[in-house]
Amino acid sequence: MPIFDQGYQHWSGQLSSHAWRWLAITRQGLRVGMKLPRVKRTLFVAWLPALGLAAFLCLWGLIERKSDLVAGLAPALRILGPEGIADPRQFRVQIWTLAYTYFMDAELWISMVLILLVGPDLISQDLRFNALPLYFSRPLQRRDYFLGKLGVIGALLGMVTVGPAVIAYILGMLFSLDFTIIRDTFSILLGTIAYGLLVLVSAGTLILALSSLSRNSRYVMLLWLAVVLVSNVMSGVLMTAERQRQIQQVAMAPYQPYQQGAKTDPQQSLKRLDEHLVDSQNRDWRPLVSYLKNLQRIGRMLLGTDATMEKFRQLQPPEQRVYYRVLHMNPEYPWYWSAAILAGLLGISAWILNRRVRSLDRLK
């Protein structure tokens, strides 16, 4: 009677290439995540800004056509000046840019909540139950494992950012009934998609790295809150103090002495102060403390938000423009400062994952 060895038999054959094997991990992760009631509630809340964006773009399309359905909204166009009232299409790019900027700002916070609910368990649970040997005994490589886990984050973020942004764009284009809208606004859609991919890669890799640091997902949640919430509060306190100082400067500008005790013209004083504020904002380091503000800075660059805000500032009366800069415009420091910080975090996250998640031949 033959006797067979029932122990583990190492297979040394040649694996066929399968670029989509990571999808199995993503599907399982989504299946588990979508069973959580809190995730479903968060997704429902996340779609409310998307509905608002779609409704606004449809409404603006009717305004451009000067439809009788929105005739009562004509007084609201006074903020665009006489040119905006006569031809709203002149401000199409600016209006769409602001709409997508506010949408992405709202969804960025909701995305952080979704990551908090789903992300901490992605790797920490595998470490806790020693599931890595089970994964890597299959025809999986570490990159497949990482892509599968990152795909869970990507699918959830796509549901609340890129997907709704594309649907809202199509609806806004249909209500406009003007083919030139594609030429004018397609770059905004591309910028929104790129922004969503940036959030996915940066935040997704970061939460995976944090998840690999502990077998207890509660500790991972605390680390994530420290990175997102605490850093944002610290940056907000610093920026608020600086903004209050700038407001005091603006209030006192017309009364400051000029050239040996003589008082300057208020308009000239405000103009010089505006130039000083531009230089100060271009060197402001305070937003760099916040992880979210670094993401938002890259997003504003991709969407062209700062140029849009400057155009709206020029519509204000000359004496109000410096106030508008202080109260409504974000610091315009170089975007590559934030890019460098995010790239550094990405590199640290990749190093942590490489150290903490080992393939089967490296497990001890």
Closest to 61 (Cα-Cα) out of 159, 188, 175: 175
Is-contact 302 194, C-beta < 8 A?
yes
pLDDT the model gives residue 332: 82
Between residues 106 and 15, the one the model is more confident about: 106
pLDDT for 250-287, tens place per residue? 666 555 544 445 555 666 666 676 666 777 777 888 88
pTM for the structure as a whole? 0.86
Is-contact 63 70, C-beta < 8 A?
yes
Closest to 344 (Cα-Cα) out of 269, 288, 273: 288
pLDDT the model gives residue 140: 78
pLDDT the model gives residue 282: 77
Please give the angle made by the CA atoms of 224, 236 and 189, to the nearest 5 degrees: 75
3-class SS at 263?
strand
118-122, 185-189, 278-282, 343-347 — which is least confidently predicted? 278-282
Per-residue pLDDT for 5 more than 60?
A: no
Q: What is the mean pLDDT of the chain?
A: 83
Q: What is the mean pLDDT of residues 81-92?
A: 77
DSSP labels for 123-192?
A: HHHHHHTT-HHHHHTSS--HHHHHHHHHHHHHHHHHHHTHHHHHHHHHHHHHHHT-THHHHHHHHHHHHH
19-33, 86-100, 259-273 — which is least confidently predicted? 259-273
Q: Which segments of the chain does DSSP mark as H helices, in order?
A: 23-33, 37-64, 81-86, 92-118, 121-128, 132-136, 142-160, 162-176, 180-211, 217-225, 231-252, 266-282, 291-303, 305-314, 321-328, 335-356
Cα first-last separation, the chain: 37
